[in-house]
Amino acid sequence: MVPDTTRHEHARQAQQAMKTYTHVPYRHTEYPEREMHERANALYDELRRRRSVRFFSDRPVARELIELAVMTAGTAPSGAHRQPWRFVAVSDPDIKRRIRIAAEKEEHESYHGRMSEEWLQALAPLGTDWRKPFLEIAPWLVVCFAESYGVRNDGARIKNYYVQESCGIACGLFIAAIHHMGLVTLTHTPSPMRFLGEILGRPKRERPYILFPVGYPAAGATVPDLSRKSLKDVVQWDLGETV
Ligand code: IYR
């Protein structure tokens, strides 16, 4: 039989490992229905103007704006509230240069052999290639790392849950925040991205997830003239009606 003192010790440790939250009232903001429609329309109207931009100005952007975008990203829901993300914001020209060189080396290999013919054809309409000058021109590179597991003070591993989903949601909010403040970004995923952890000194348990160049668009920046799927192509109501 396990002695009582040992059992108590286990229970104490379990309690300490698992933070128990007290529950507090949710502070809900209710709007009149007309205002709900206005707000919903306004947000849609703003977000539908967002575009992935590949041509950046070198015009500086205040660090506080990047802080606010990261704080906005950090409001994302996450599996077991583990918040398994780490954003590394880079403005140092030497580090940006190292990232550009390493990314272009990988991308060159991708575009010249690693990517299938089918993939290259899918990208052709976008006009992308291995060259990534924006990695040096944009005033900020923000890299989201996904933390595969956490580490407790005593060195024990803490399991994270739904890491991909959590980071995806956080990055979505980051993108919305950048757009909302009047800046532009691009979800850039040079592949493979291992070099980012090495250059930025992140531990192995953190995997590079998305690299965001952030800044103002270059004067005369262009974007592909593409359209988005219509509502009927992305929604089904109940058992089949699509409009
Ligand atoms: N990572 C490469 C290739 C690329 C892949 C997809 I899927 C894109 O939507 C765009 C680019 C690059 O950045 O060029």
Ligand 1 pocket, residue 13 CB under 6 Å: no
Ligand 1 pocket, residue 123 CB under 6 Å: yes
**pLDDT value for 243:** 57
Distance separating alpha carbons of residues 229 and 239, to the nearest angstrom: 20
**pLDDT value for 9:** 47
| Cα 166 to averaged position of ligand 1 atoms, centre (Å) | 22
**Tens digits of per-residue pLDDT, 71-101?**
999 999 999 999 999 999 999 999 999 999 9
pLDDT at 15 over 50: no
Ligand 1 pocket, residue 106 CB under 6 Å: no
- The answer to whether residues 131 and 144 touch, using CB atoms and an 8 Å cutoff, is no
Distance separating alpha carbons of residues 35 and 198, to the nearest angstrom: 49
| Cα 55 to averaged position of ligand 1 atoms, centre (Å) | 15
Nearest partner of 87 among 151, 189, 174, judged by Cα = 174
pLDDT at 158 over 70: yes
**pLDDT value for 12:** 45
Ligand 1 pocket, residue 188 CB under 6 Å: yes
Mean pLDDT of 3-29: 68
**pLDDT value for 242:** 57
Residue 150 φ/ψ region, left for φ over 0, alpha for ψ in the -120 to 50 degree band, beta for the rest: beta
- What are the DSSP calls for 34-75, one per residue? HHHHHHHHHHHHHHTT------B------HHHHHHHHHHHTT
The proportion of the chain whose per-residue pLDDT surpasses 90, expressed as a percent, equals 89
Mean pLDDT of 131-150: 98
Q: Which atom of ligand 1 is nearest to the CA of 128?
A: 14
Ligand 1 pocket, residue 190 CB under 6 Å: yes
